[in-house]
Every structure is written in C-alpha cells, then in structure tokens.
Amino acid sequence: MFRELEQREAVFDLPARKFVLGDSQHDTSVRFHGLRAGTPFGPAAGPNTQMAQNLVLSWLAGGRVLELKTVQVNDRLEIPRPCIDMQTVGYNVEWSQELTLEESLEEYVKGAMLIRLLEASGRLPLAPGMGATVFDMSVGYDLAGVRSPRVQAFIRGLMDATPTIERLRRELPSELGPLRDLDFAPALSRSLTLSTFHGCPPGEIEGIAAFLMREMGLSCVVKLNPTLLGPAEVRGLLRDRLGYTDLTVPDDAFAKDTSWDDAAAFLDRLAGLGASLGVGFGVKLTNTLIVENHRDVFPPGEKVMYLSGPPLHVLAMHLVRRVRRAFGDRVPVSFSAGIERANFPDAVALGLVPVTACTDLLKTGGYARASGYFEELHRRMDAVGAASVDEFVVRAFTRGDAPSEPPERAPSEGRDERPAAPASLTPAQLAAARLRNTETYVEGLAADPRYAAPRNLRTPRKIGRTLRLFDCLTCDKCIPVCPNDANFTFVLPPSASLPVTEPRQIANFADFCNDCGNCDTFCPEHGGPYRLKPRIFVSRERWLRDAPRDAILVEWDAITGRFAGAVVRVADGDAPAADDATSNLLRRVRAALLAPGEVNYVNSYW
C-alpha cells in the first residue's frame, strides 16, 4: 500500500487524484448512532466491503460509514458463478458469505488496521474530521444463526478486536517503524445492520433486532424489502411509470414478505426499545428486489435474481417517504438503492445516513466514481451557501424562499476546527426540512428519465475479439471494476520466444478473485479477463483447489503452471531449456512479476 503510493501515486490501483480527503470549506460530517463519521457516504454491505483492500478503497473513496459485508452461520455455500450482472440496471444472485466467519473477521480487522495506518502515516492530506470512520457490522439471516456460537464469536470479535489486532500487528513489516505500535482501536464496531431473507417473518425480524439491542447492547438497523410498498405500487412504478416491462416480480414475493402494517408496528416497538436501552435504532431502505430471472447471465438453475440500481432507487425513495410520513425522525433511515453522482446530494439533503452505494461502484471506474459524488455534493452545497450537512438539509430544496444569508453559526467546536451547525437550527426544524425535502424529491422521481427503462438498458460494447493470455486492447477497464482489485498490470519485456506487443500486460491475482464476472461485463473483448488472462496464485492450497483450470502458482523459489491439465514447475536455478516453450514462458512471467520496479500482490507477498 505505501510502496504503491510512493511509486505510483495510487493505492490498490485507485489513483491518488481520486481520493476523497475532504476540505476546510465543506463539513460533510454526520452522526450515525451517535458516532461522528467524516461523511455520510459508505459502501453498501456487499462486494465492496468483503476484503481488507475493499475497505481501504471504500475509505479512500470517501466512505466513512463502512457497512461490512453480511455474514451468517451458513458460511460454506456453493455460490453460483457469475454472481453479478451489471450489463444493464444491476442484478445479483443473493447469497452472501463467500468467506468463512473467521476469515471475514480477519479481513475486517485487517482493513480497519490498514485504514488506521494510512490515516496515521501523515501521507494523506486529510481535512480535519475526515478521519472519523464508523464500521457497521451486517449479519443475517435468522435468530438461531445470529445466536449461534460462531456468529456470536464474530460479533464479539469486532466489538473487541484486541486478539486479532495483536496477532496481525506482528505481521507489520519493520520498515513501517513506529506505525507498528499504533493505537488500533479495539472496539471496532458497536452497531449492526440486520439483513434478513426475502420472506423472513416479521416476528423473526423483530426478535433478532431485540436480541441484538437488548442482549448485546448493539445499535441496530433493520434492512427492509421494497415489497413493503405492496404489489400495486411496486408494479405500477416499475412497469407502468418506469417502463421495465421485462421485469416480473413474483406474486409470492409479496405474499411471503412482511406487510407494511406489520413492519410499521415492529418499527414502532423497536424504536421504543432502542430509546429505552439507550442504543440506536433505524431502518435501512432497501434490500434488493426479487424478480424472475429472464436473462442469460446467471446459471440457468437460478429462477430468480435480485434487482438493484436506478429502478430500485425510485422504489426505495417511495418507501423512505412512507417511513418518514409515519415516523419522522424517530426512525432514522440508512439508504441504499441506485445511488450515483447525480442523486447522492439529494439523498444527503434528505438527511439519510449513511447513503450507501454498490451498483454504481461496480461500473467503469469503480471506486473512483465516488469522487464525483463529492464534487457534486460540494457544488450543490456551494450553490445554496451551505457549509455543513445540516445547513444543506435546510437549504437544498428551498427555492425562492431560501434565506439570502447563511444562518448565524456557533463558534467552532473542539478539535474539529470546522464551523458547527448553525445554532439556530433545532432538531424540529431539521426534522421538518428532512420531511419536506423527502416530499419534494420523491414527488417527481418516477417521471425522471434517469431512472426509466430505455436509458438503463444499454449494454457495454464488445469489439468482436476474444482475449488471449497476453496482449489485449489494454484499456485497463477490468482493473477498477473489480471490487477486490484482483486484476493488475505488469510489464513483460518482449523476447523472440514470447513476442508480446503491448507495453503492459493484464494479470489476475486469483487469490483475490471470486469469479463474480464483473470484469467480463466491462471488458471490450470476449472471454473475461478473470478466465483468460494469466491467473496467478501465491497460495498452493488455493491453486490446488482451483484445478483443473489453467493457473500459475508463484512460490518463493519457483513458478508452476497448469495449462490444459499439464503441470510444469520451474525452480529458481533450473537451467533454461531453449526448446521448452512453457518453461520459458513461466520463467519470463516470474521475472516480470518480481522485477524491482513492479508493485503487485505477488512481489509484495514474496
């Protein structure tokens, strides 16, 4: 991470110019369950928060409420591949938990430690207050699973991460010097967003949330489904207003899911319980929408899939309006559905915390897209003379009646060094502004062509060529669209035996690749970089498990290739054989990956 920053002005392939580090003119900080976060933005629990490097990338992209990917007791699932379809609006096959619970805990603690190292290194010009980061756990899916000893160990392992931190601390290289003795906060998380299956009974949802708040002392957010709007409103918006006539929401999705009346009743009780216990409670809008699988991306056995992206934004915002009308600020809303550059400031103006993204971050540019969210937010804040989120909430949607002068501000507080929210803003005024903004924003949403079918059904273009092991268009699109940063470039000098033409080659660090398929969607050539480019492992165990696929294993003293089932190993010091093309290829790849000027996972590992 630090080597890449020095040599390439990037971290995990995110260029430093796309880092969101804040500035002194815009106080974007918010409170989430009473904790301060430097921005209201965060990645939604999912592919952008699965591994340590995903968390670092999300943080560098401005995320300060990091919703860790959902875990559950059933952590040995066979997940269909590919599992993400971003060709149009965004679909996935909804099975979480690709890592074991123990691996997830390790990745999350590791990610938090890397972020702390970056923050404390002094190498990033972070604006005051921009270090404040909240880690929010996400757990599913039923009460028995949440109470199971392994899930309990996971949750407690994040509430007090001391053993993991101290074990990982010993792995920090000596060149980091005093950073190895850093005070990594052991209480990594004290809140949890509850994910439940589509069709989870309301009593079960309430039971889990009550258990987490009462027995574990956690602040809790319950994620709800868009089906809460009911069949008439969901289908009316989706098909009639937005024009997604190809989508069918199965009847039993509504029949099995919680009804609005049930949800409203348990939200009321849980908000009361949270208040009585002194812990936070809120709702997350929304989960994805179950639809029939009418496409050919996922394996044919997948009868349903889960919709996200622009159409979900409209559904979820209608549900925000319903919750706001019923509960006002009593039930705070965390948001996830079709967030992108243009609507991020609107969601902030509605007082939603956090405003999380997933689908948009999987498109061309990846995490770097979030820097545009903040450019747009700052522009909109400037347009109404707002220096803080609260000021923005009050002014964002006021038109002719906007106050001509900013309200008087209280003196700067504490170490934050930024102007505090105007003293004149009371909680009641803020609540009224949030509700008013919600009504204004949602009113015209379904008529906005941004969310309608024609615009969102265009697919990424292919150029009619199929990828080969070396050389390609070298457009680099496959690198940022990978949430795990598993694809990377390296320089392979051409030779008579390996006459490559491109100055850089693409490789796939297969230890970090979960075959989600997203890089295939955006690669202009056919075949998928994750399938056809050199797939490199550093773990022998994982390389063996991956058989019979073609893959290369790089070890400290050797390189081994498996091509069409044949295995060839070349140890350092083996004499080159002029007529052995595979050995020569492997030897050259090894030398190229480990060349001193390269920064990649392979040479970091060895």
> Which residues of this protein are in contact with ligand SF4, per CB under 6 A?
467, 472-478, 482, 484, 486-487, 506, 508, 513-519, 523-525, 529-530, 533
The rounded distance, in Å, linking the Cα atoms of 177 and 266 is 52
Indicate the residue among 96 and 437 with the shorter CB distance to ligand SF4. 96
Residue 381: which H helix or E strand, with range?
Answer: helix 369-383
Helices of type H across 199-309: 202-214, 231-235, 251-256, 260-277
Going 517 to 523 to 525 to 530, the CA torsion angle's sign is: negative
Q: How far is the CB of 356 from ligand SF4 (least distance, A)?
A: 20
Of 28 and 489, which CB lies nearer to ligand SF4 in the complex structure? 489
Of 164 and 514, which has the nearer Cβ to ligand SF4?
Answer: 514
CB of 504 to ligand SF4, least distance (A): 8
Least Å distance between CB 48 and ligand SF4?
11
Minimum separation from the CB atom of position 395 to ligand SF4 (A): 40
Q: Which H helix or E strand runs over 535? A: strand 535-537
Residue indicated by tokens 């390996």: 498
3-state helix vs strand vs coil in the chain, percent to 5? 40, 15, 45
Cβ proximity to ligand SF4, 45 vs 467, nearer residue? 467
Question: What is the C-alpha to C-alpha distance for residues 10 and 16, in angstroms, rounded to an integer?
Answer: 5
Locate 587 and state its tokens. 């030897």
* Residue number, 55 or 453, with CB nearest to ligand SF4: 55
Residue 510 CB, shortest distance to ligand SF4, in Å, is: 8
Are the CB atoms for 274 and 280 separated by under 8 Å?
yes
Residue closer to ligand SF4 (CB basis): 210 or 361: 361
Measure the CA–CA gap between 476 and 603, rounded to whole angstroms: 20
Closest residue by Cα to residue 510 from 568, 469, 554: 554
Which C-beta is closer to ligand SF4: that of 51 or that of 319?
A: 51
User: What are the Cα distances from residue 262, in Å, to 143, 206, 209, 257, 388?
Assistant: 18, 10, 15, 10, 37
Nearer to ligand SF4, 80 or 201 (CB): 80
CB of 99 to ligand SF4, least distance (A): 13
CA 265 to chain centroid: 31
Q: Minimum Å distance from CB 77 to ligand SF4? A: 17
Considering the complex, what minimum distance in angstroms separates the CB of residue 592 from ligand SF4? Answer: 16
* Shortest reach from residue 366's CB to ligand SF4, in Å: 9
Q: Of 205 and 506, which has the nearer Cβ to ligand SF4?
A: 506
Joined tokens for residue 487: 């694809």
What 8-state DSSP symbol labels residue 408? P
What's phi and psi for 514, nearest 5 deg?
A: -110, 25
Tokens standing for residue 382: 């400037």
Dihedral sign of CA atoms 360, 361, 366, 367 in order: positive
CB count within 10 Å of CB 7 equals 11
Give the residue with the Cβ less far from ligand SF4, 192 or 589: 589
CB of 215 to ligand SF4, least distance (A): 36
